[in-house]
Amino acid sequence: MKGLILSGGKGTRLQPLTYTLAKQLVPVANKPVLFRVIDTIREAGVREIGIIIAPHTGEEIKRAVKQANFDAEITFIMQDEPKGLAHAVRTAYEQGFLNDDERFAMFLGDNVIEGGIGALITDFDQHPEWNAQVVLKEVPNASSYGVAVLRPDGSIERLIEKPPVPPTNLALVGIYMFDGRIKDAIYAIQPSKRGEYEITDAIQWLLDNGNRVYPHIHQGWFIDTGKPYDMLEANACVLEELTPAIAADAVIENAQIDKRVTVQAGAVIRNSIIRGPAIIGEGAVIEDSYIGPFTSIYHRTTIRNCEIERCIILEDTNISNLPARLQDSLIGRNVTLTRNGTLPRAMKMNLGDHSVVYVE
């Protein structure tokens, strides 16, 4: 079995951070979301992985993945236009990554899931008569998703894209298993009203033509990291799953660090309090500061004389002397954020790469 990761998209809901950074490379708990997806697929025993990329972020994603040196055979597949998920699958066939009769797992590259997909792949492997399997999750706001209606035998009867009045609360969450019949489906469907080839239409074509499609109802958490709040939620969930550790070469002087904190290689923490779950990245410097729960400080970032809580702060950034607690924020790479006067008791912001902000 092969894995197919969809890693295109412009990440407009995460701007300004994604003006200069592919959304799949934004880290949660100091690991890019895309890398977590690759690890999830590898842990399920899949070694051949295709990554769908787009022209505007493709080279950046290729460089990052190659530098990470995954133990996998990775093929990059360029999707020239954002014409939908089914079009991405079609591109994988046309560029020779997928064969006509091949079974594969498809995973959206900006999603984070609890527990991996090993059970899903095992389930699909044990049912060779199934043509497709989709992951569903009970959600409170099903009208924002594609939803599934099940038959009495547990198989899927039909899919409905973002219904105003959902007939069920079972939402599609971006993980799919297919056999070769999906190729017939993606070539048979027409573009939707928004001009895209929808994977839900392809799965509905399978259903309408007598194919067997079954659900896997996920019981753990699942987050689409498309918006800042969702990214912070994913970061919090992953931080709670980490096994905390302090690197042997970390420098810790006059600091209070609780047992839920991970400190990576070469980090320096002085005269500070760190409350977990939290992670301090490689070569980061934390001085005279308070770092609160659900915070990720990425590599080589410096924090001095600040209070920070429930934030994601990317690499090579300098934050100092803030007059108020920074919370619920996404801060990009190479940012300078410092005090230039006096002001409030709390701040919240999302800053793109290379920002320079003086708080007056």
pLDDT digits (tens, 9 = 90+) for 131-184: 999 999 898 888 888 899 999 988 899 998 888 888 999 988 889 999 999 999
Q: Give tens-digit pLDDT for 213-224.
A: 999 988 888 887
Give the pLDDT band (50/70/90) at residue 360.
low
Q: Kindly state whether residues 210 and 286 are assigned to the same domain.
A: no
Q: Kindly state whether residues 129 and 192 are assigned to the same domain.
A: yes
Is residue 155, in this structure, part of any structural domain at all? yes
Give the pLDDT band (50/70/90) at residue 115.
confident
- Tokens (6 digits) for 160: 């409905």
Q: Give tens-digit pLDDT for 82-114.
A: 889 999 999 999 999 999 889 999 998 888 888
Q: Kindly state whether residues 175 and 223 are assigned to the same domain.
A: yes
pTM of the shown model: 0.88
Is residue 163, in this structure, part of any structural domain at all? yes
Query: Taking the alpha carbons of 183, 154, 107, 40 in that order, is the dihedral positive or negative?
Result: negative
Section 236-242 average pLDDT = 93
Report residue 325: phi and psi, to 5°.
-70, 135
Q: Kindly state whether residues 186 and 294 are assigned to the same domain.
A: no
For residue 36, give its domain range.
Answer: 2-227
Q: Kindly state whether residues 154 and 35 are assigned to the same domain.
A: yes
> Using CA atoms, how far apart are residues 225 and 115, in angstroms rounded to an integer?
17
Report residue 279: phi and psi, to 5°.
-140, 135
Section 252-278 average pLDDT = 96
* Boundary-marking domain end, from 227, 257, 272: 227
Return all residues near 293 (Cβ < 8 A) that are at least 6 apart. 260, 275, 276, 277, 278, 309, 310
Contact 113, 176 (CB under 8 A): no
Q: Kindly state whether residues 65 and 182 are assigned to the same domain.
A: yes
Specify the CATH number for the domain of residue 77. Answer: 3.90.550.10
* Boundary-marking domain end, from 184, 199, 227: 227
Q: Kindly state whether residues 137 and 31 are assigned to the same domain.
A: yes
Q: Is 327 left (phi over 0), alpha (psi -120 to 50) or beta?
A: beta
Is residue 234, in this structure, part of any structural domain at all? no
Is residue 235, in this structure, part of any structural domain at all? no
Q: Kindly state whether residues 266 and 209 are assigned to the same domain.
A: no
Q: Kindly state whether residues 168 and 42 are assigned to the same domain.
A: yes
- Tokens (6 digits) for 60: 């950046």
Check residue 7 and give its pLDDT: 87
Number of helices (H), then strands (E), belonging to the chain: the values are 7, 32
* Boundary-marking domain end, from 193, 227, 261: 227
> Using CA atoms, how far apart are residues 51 and 211, in angstroms rounded to an integer?
27
What's the total number of domains in the chain?
A: 2
Contact 332, 353 (CB under 8 A): yes
Say yes or no to pLDDT of 297 above 90.
Answer: yes
Check residue 21 and give its pLDDT: 74
